[in-house]
Amino acid sequence: PHVARLIAAGEVVSRPLDVVRELVDNALDAGASRIEIEVEGGGLGLVRVRDNGSGIDLGSVELAAVRHATSKLAPEVSAVDHVTTLGFRGEALWAAAQAGQLHLVTRPAAQVGAAEVLAHGEEVHVSRATAPAGTTVTVRNLFHTMPARRRTQASPASEVREITALVGRYLLHHPGRHWRLSVDGDPRLTHAPADHRGAVASVYGPVSANRVLRVEAEGVRGVVSRPELTRSRRDRMHFSVNGRPVLAPPELEKAVISGYAELLPGSAAPLCVLDITVAPQDHNPNVHPAKQVVALADLSGVAARVQAAV
Ligand code: ADP
Ligand code: MG
């Protein structure tokens, strides 16, 4: 059972990047307007996410790191078909506590005292604490007791590159919040609430931000850069579905590029940030534990709307 537990946890948390994504998802689900991420040692030493969201009340904090305990799904079995939050499996904090040492401090704004949770493996300790409203989750020494897992990790530099890109994507799709990412104590990304153009400025700089145009149509919102013939920006095409940054579905990339070809035949793939909204029952984020692949009920319809909007 010990090995089975570690294997199951490893499917949710297989690298520091997974911890960052899961903790940021929780901060967004908690309605935070300020999200600060710290990474040390390529994330193997420490990942910390601090938010000013709803917090967890004393009555349920004990469950936070318990497997399958989620506050986000109604008890009906079918509720998983109507997911409106980024998390819903109740496995992230549990998995982080199997792979490393989890420390959580949390306080709902209306509650006087805070609670503190220390969890590692099957041990969970809850105590009283003092803290500002919101939640801070720290995961230390990831894979410390899993030498095989540790050996297969990417270099700290390459993990940091991917973490920076991931936080950049969250920021691009949630530009109305404060964001901060620091790596080994140095700030990498900082962003104050703005629109999509402001987010492009925070991630890619003012020159790129000045080149984007607003896109707004039914269920599609964001920005696209002006057509260019020379430089393909395929690596800068960003899509979210219901607030979740997703791996760009090829159909949607094609829709943007075709929309462009109508404007300027032969133009290259543009930088774009597009937020797609569909009804909860028309998408399924439950394809893979990382939830970066989303199945859309009406992909061609969405693609047509994207192309028309562009
Ligand atoms: P899930 O997000 O799938 O519900 P998690 O393991 O990520 O599962 O989190 C377990 C529970 O802990 C959540 O359902 C939520 O109630 C609570 N929680 C975790 N992180 C936060 C946070 N940053 N702010 C408020 N509540 C949180
Ligand atoms: Mg979660």
Domain with CATH 3.30.565.10 in the chain: 2-191
**Which ligand 1 atom sits closest to the C-alpha of 60?**
16
Per DSSP, the three-state class of 163 is helix
- In the prediction, which pLDDT does 290 show? 66
In whole angstroms, what is the distance from residue 175 CA to residue 186 CA? 22
Q: Please, what sign has the CA dihedral across residues 246, 65, 179, 282?
A: positive
Tokens of 119: 């969890």
- In the prediction, which pLDDT does 75 show? 58
Rounded distance from Cα 63 to ligand 1 centre (Å): 9
Q: Give, using CA atoms, the residue closest to atom 1 of ligand 1.
A: 90
Rounded distance from Cα 225 to ligand 1 centre (Å): 36
| DSSP-assigned letter for residue 270 | P
Q: Give, using CA atoms, the residue closest to atom 23 of ligand 1.
A: 27
Q: What is the CATH number that goes with domain 205-309? A: 3.30.230.10
User: Which stretches does DSSP call E strand in 236-292?
Assistant: 237-241, 244-246, 272-276, 283-284
Tokens of 92: 């992230």
What homologous superfamily does CATH list for 2-191? Histidine kinase-like ATPase, C-terminal domain (3.30.565.10)
Tens-digit pLDDT profile for residues 206-250: 999 999 999 998 899 999 998 777 778 888 999 999 999 998 888
Q: Which of 22, 29, 83, 85 to mutate to test the pocket of ligand 1 (most atoms within 8 A of CB)?
A: 29
**Which ligand 1 atom sits closest to the C-alpha of 55?**
25
Q: Which residues line ligand 1 (CB under 6 A)?
A: 22, 26-27, 30, 51, 53-56, 64, 70-72, 87-94, 135
- In the prediction, which pLDDT does 283 show? 82
- In the prediction, which pLDDT does 43 show? 98
200's CB contacts (< 8 A; 6+ apart) are: 172, 208, 209, 212, 223, 271, 273
**Which ligand 1 atom sits closest to the C-alpha of 96?**
6
Strand 101-107: give its sheet, edge to edge: 123-129, 114-120, 101-107, 134-140, 46-51, 34-40, 178-183, 186-191
Ligand that lies nearest to the alpha carbon of residue 9, given by its number in the listed order: 1
- In the prediction, which pLDDT does 124 show? 95
In whole angstroms, what is the distance from residue 43 CA to residue 214 CA? 35
Class of residue 284 by CB neighbours under 10 A (exposed 0-12, middle 13-18, buried 19+): middle
- In the prediction, which pLDDT does 27 show? 98
Q: Give, using CA atoms, the residue closest to atom 13 of ligand 1.
A: 70
Tens-digit pLDDT profile for residues 15-33: 999 999 999 999 999 999 9
The model's pTM: 0.94
Alpha-carbon 268 to chain mean position? 28
Each residue's pLDDT expressed in tens, for the chain with a length of 310 residues: 678 888 888 888 999 999 999 999 999 999 999 999 999 999 999 999 999 999 999 999 998 888 888 888 765 555 666 778 888 878 899 999 999 999 999 999 999 999 999 999 989 999 999 999 999 999 999 999 888 899 999 999 999 999 999 999 999 999 999 999 999 999 999 999 999 999 999 999 999 999 999 999 889 999 999 877 777 888 899 999 999 999 888 899 999 988 888 877 877 889 999 999 998 888 877 777 666 777 888 889 989 998 988 8
Tally: H helices and E strands in the chain: 9, 15
Asked whether 166 and 17 are in contact (CB, 8 A), the reply is yes
Domain with CATH 3.30.230.10 in the chain: 205-309
